[in-house]
């Protein structure tokens, strides 16, 4: 019986499952281990040192010489498997014992040999993706093959092989085929040639289309709200991103505290039900905010939101903001979206601009429609606006471009955002334009109604360089009208400040009036070039960036009078939880002074 037990114990030790009794003194070490490899293979040496199976026996004080010799023979196979995970399948491994004064040293001498590289990859497709003549199915198949993470000629490792298979499966189930799976995979390694021949089987299963929406949690709001926010019509081909976007739209709408959009792939693929569970937000909410900016100084705001204002389905958002240079009060009423995501919008706003010697009071009434999609925003509206300019007798200029007037206009605004990610874009571009026209309504003596047209175009491009980025920005605007047209200042242009031309104060760039004050102008041009470079931490990009920039902008009543005001400087960016935080120090060349600029968020 004793002999049988000893045989079982020896067999268990040989396959690595028997853990000998450790020495009661945990600080006693039976032998040391040294792994020696060429300097360029430090990662390989650290892998062996960390996961070497022989380390388990260092604390066994009564390990016999014969048992240690047997473990050394088994250790070579262990090392061979470890280095194979990094793609070295023909290594030269020598494991020897060196006697030392304190205790013996087990030396692992390792020459990895050539790393295996991928020679071929074979994809075996099954299911709808293999047989469908649909061009979208064939395009998805091509994307899976073209985006394969282990292309021919790339070094093979176990981690890369696992990542490539996982990435291929994610690409398969992300669109059209949520029941897709990996049916088989094989990495055939030839140690003599250090080549890896790969094969992977992907079964897409059937094509999935969306069926009816099953909505739970709606009690207060109109039942049409969730389907219109979701934008998931029956018959739409399954797209994981579409479901995620629907969930984000519902959750960000302000009507719900939470939203969950879920599809059970076990249903009928031809009309898979979509389950949407929501938790409604309160009908009313009050938000108190405080902040500070270098443009307008400290500010405090009070906002009231009513999701069913005056007993209707319209949302009313009323905001009061108090600050030194540009306080305002505004109320915006918005209807529920229709099937195409268009909403009716009504807005009333009163604001004041304190430009030192000139004090402008402005009012605005607007009514129209708006549509917001993932990349494109559209606005069509009719607007009445009025501005009154006040100041000392020396400050007020009687010319038309002081901005003292009123107007009625029709406008169209289009904005497209094509960035790789928001709110922290690394590449991409955005562009937008505004076009409008109308006539003045000044009641001043001898003033006549005058027609005018107004246009604004803006662009932002972000381009990747080697470890850094270049961001370029441009904006131009023009108002066309007769010289004696009394246009309100809200329809004209001034610039300067944190997000336009740094190195100058808020609205400091405009038309110089005969009185010496700065007024609005009919033409504007602004441009900027900024170099952004991530700051490194432990050889990896951190959440901080350094920047160098040059801004230029001008405002005039005639295009030939446009003269740029230039600002140059440097700054720091931080990816904060509430969006990009910008801190810039800029020197205004014409103003001949330094200014500190801060702003939060990415806006285009």
Confidence of residue 8 (pLDDT cuts 50, 70, 90): very low
At residue 165, the pLDDT reads 94
Spatial CA neighbour of 144 closest among 185, 174, 179: 174
Torsion of CA 433, 434, 435, 436, to 10 degrees: 180
Is the pLDDT at 166 greater than 70? The verdict is yes
Is the pLDDT at 2 greater than 60? The verdict is no
Is the pLDDT at 17 greater than 70? The verdict is no
Distance CA 542, CA 533 (A): 10
569 vs 50, which has greater pLDDT?
569
86-95 average pLDDT score: 84
Encode 194-253 in three state secondary structure.
CEEEEEEEEECCCCCEEEEEEEECCCCCCCCHHHHHHCCCCCCECEHHHHHHHHHHHHHC
279-283, 524-528, 529-533, 539-543, range with the lowest pLDDT: 539-543
Please write the tens of the pLDDT for every residue from 47-87. 888 888 888 887 777 777 777 778 777 888 888 888 878 88
227 vs 51, which has greater pLDDT?
227
57 vs 409, which has greater pLDDT?
409
Confidence of residue 7 (pLDDT cuts 50, 70, 90): very low
Is the pLDDT at 410 greater than 90? The verdict is yes
At residue 14, the pLDDT reads 37
Secondary element (H or E) of residue 5: helix 2-14
Task: Supply the CATH classification number for the domain 117-203.
Answer: 3.10.20.310
At residue 401, the pLDDT reads 61
Distance CA 454, CA 434 (A): 8
At residue 19, the pLDDT reads 45
- Most confident stretch, 30-34, 157-161, 557-561: 557-561
155-177 average pLDDT score: 93
At residue 78, the pLDDT reads 83
- What are the Cα distances from residue 430, in Å, to 191, 336, 442? 52, 27, 36
Is the pLDDT at 370 greater than 90? The verdict is yes
Torsion of CA 478, 484, 486, 490, to 10 degrees: 20
Is the pLDDT at 352 greater than 90? The verdict is yes
Is the pLDDT at 399 greater than 60? The verdict is no
174-188, 203-217, 391-405, range with the lowest pLDDT: 391-405
467 vs 171, which has greater pLDDT?
171
Q: What is the pTM of this model?
A: 0.76
At residue 393, the pLDDT reads 42
**Token pair of 60, please?**
């066994």
2-111 and 210-280 in the same fold: yes
Please write the tens of the pLDDT for every residue from 308-344. 999 899 999 999 999 988 899 999 999 999 999 999 9
291 vs 279, which has greater pLDDT?
279
Please write the tens of the pLDDT for every residue from 428-441. 999 999 999 999 99
124 vs 101, which has greater pLDDT?
124
At residue 446, the pLDDT reads 56
* Pairing between β-strand 117-126 and β-strand 195-203 as defined by DSSP bridges: parallel
Distance CA 282, CA 242 (A): 27
Confidence of residue 20 (pLDDT cuts 50, 70, 90): very low
Is the pLDDT at 28 greater than 70? The verdict is no
Contact 31, 103 (CB under 8 A): yes
- Architecture of domain 2-111 in this structure: Roll (3.10)
Distance CA 540, CA 544 (A): 11
CATH number (3.90.1150.10, 3.20.20.80, 2.40.160.50, 3.30.360.10) of 337-600 reads 2.40.160.50
33-37, 73-77, 214-218, range with the lowest pLDDT: 73-77
Is the pLDDT at 12 greater than 50? The verdict is no
87-93 average pLDDT score: 83
For residue 328, give every residue at least 6 positions away whose Cβ sits within 8 Å of its Cβ, in sequence order, or none: 319, 320, 321, 349, 350, 351, 352
290-306 average pLDDT score: 88
Contact 547, 575 (CB under 8 A): no
- Would you kindly state where each structural domain of the chain is located, as residue ranges? 2-111, 117-203, 210-280, 337-600
Is the pLDDT at 94 greater than 50? The verdict is yes
Confidence of residue 242 (pLDDT cuts 50, 70, 90): very high
Is the pLDDT at 151 greater than 60? The verdict is yes
101-127 average pLDDT score: 88
Task: Give buried/exposed letters for 38-68 (b at 16+ CB in 10 A, else e).
Answer: eeebeebbebbeeebebeebbbbeebeeeeb
Give the chain's mean pLDDT.
88
**Token pair of 75, please?**
């250790």
**Token pair of 4, please?**
């049988």
At residue 392, the pLDDT reads 55
Is the pLDDT at 577 greater than 90? The verdict is no
184-191 average pLDDT score: 91
Task: Supply the CATH classification number for the domain 210-280.
Answer: 3.10.20.310
377-404 average pLDDT score: 76
């Amino acid at each position: 019986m004793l002999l049988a037990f000893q045989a079982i114990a020896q067999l268990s030790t040989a396959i690595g499952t028997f853990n000998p009794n450790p020495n009661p003194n945990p600080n006693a070490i039976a032998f040391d281990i040294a792994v020696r490899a060429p300097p360029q293979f430090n990662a390989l040496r650290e892998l062996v040192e960390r996961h070497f199976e022989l380390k388990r026996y260092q604390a066994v004080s009564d390990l016999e010489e014969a048992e240690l010799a047997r473990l050394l023979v088994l250790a070579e196979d262990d090392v061979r498997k470890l280095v194979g995970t990094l793609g070295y399948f023909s290594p030269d491994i020598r494991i020897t014992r060196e006697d030392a004064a304190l205790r013996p040293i087990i030396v692992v001498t390792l020459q990895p040999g050539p790393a295996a590289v991928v020679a071929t990859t074979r994809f075996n497709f099954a299911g709808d993706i293999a047989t469908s003549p649909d061009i979208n199915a064939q395009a998805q198949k091509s994307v899976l093959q073209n985006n394969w993470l282990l292309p021919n000629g790339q070094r093979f490792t176990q981690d890369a092989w696992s990542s490539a298979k996982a990435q291929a499966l994610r690409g398969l189930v992300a669109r059209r085929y949520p029941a897709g799976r990996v049916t088989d995979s094989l990495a055939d390694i030839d140690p003599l040639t250090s080549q890896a021949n790969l094969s992977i089987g992907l079964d897409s299963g059937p094509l999935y289309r969306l069926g009816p929406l099953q909505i739970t949690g709606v009690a207060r709001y109109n039942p049409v709200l969730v389907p219109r926010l979701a934008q998931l019509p029956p018959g739409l081909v399954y797209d994981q991103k579409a479901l995620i976007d629907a969930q984000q739209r519902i959750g960000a709408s302000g009507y719900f505290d939470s939203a969950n959009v879920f599809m059970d792939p076990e249903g009928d693929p031809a009309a898979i039900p979509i389950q949407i569970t929501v938790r409604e937000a309160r009908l009313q909410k009050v938000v108190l905010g405080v902040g500070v900016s270098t443009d307008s100084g400290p500010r405090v705001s009070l906002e009231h939101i009513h999701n069913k204002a005056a007993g209707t389905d319209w949302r009313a958002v009323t905001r009061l903001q108090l600050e030194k240079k540009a306080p305002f009060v505004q109320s915006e009423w918005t209807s529920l979206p229709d099937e195409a995501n268009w909403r009716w919008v009504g807005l009333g706003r009163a604001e004041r601009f304190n430009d030192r010697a000139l004090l402008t009071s402005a009012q605005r009434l607007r009514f129209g429609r708006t549509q917001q999609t993932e990349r494109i925003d559209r606005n069509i509206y009719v607007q009445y606006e009025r501005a009154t300019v006040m100041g000392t007798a020396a400050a007020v200029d009687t010319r038309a471009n002081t901005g003292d007037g009123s107007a009625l206009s029709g406008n169209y605004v289009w904005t497209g955002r094509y960035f790789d990610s928001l709110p922290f874009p690394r590449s991409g571009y955005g562009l937008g334009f505004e076009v409008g026209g109308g006539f003045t309504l000044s009641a001043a003596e001898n003033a006549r109604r005058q027609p005018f047209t107004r246009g604004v175009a803006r662009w932002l491009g972000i381009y990747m360089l080697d470890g850094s980025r270049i961001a370029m920005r441009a904006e131009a605007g023009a108002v066309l009208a007769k010289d004696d047209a009394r246009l309100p200042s809200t329809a004209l242009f001034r610039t300067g400040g944190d997000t336009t031309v740094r190195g100058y104060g808020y609205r400091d760039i405009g038309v110089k009036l005969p009185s010496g004050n700065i007024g609005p102008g009919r033409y504007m041009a602004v441009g900027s070039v900024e170099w952004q470079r991530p700051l490194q931490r432990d050889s990896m990009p951190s959440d901080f960036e350094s920047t160098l920039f040059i801004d230029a902008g001008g405002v005039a009543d005639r295009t030939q009078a446009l003269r740029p005001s230039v600002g140059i400087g440097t700054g720091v960016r931080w990816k904060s939880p509430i969006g990009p935080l910008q801190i810039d120090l800029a020197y205004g060349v014409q103003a001949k002074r330094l200014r500190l600029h801060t702003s939060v968020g990415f806006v285009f």
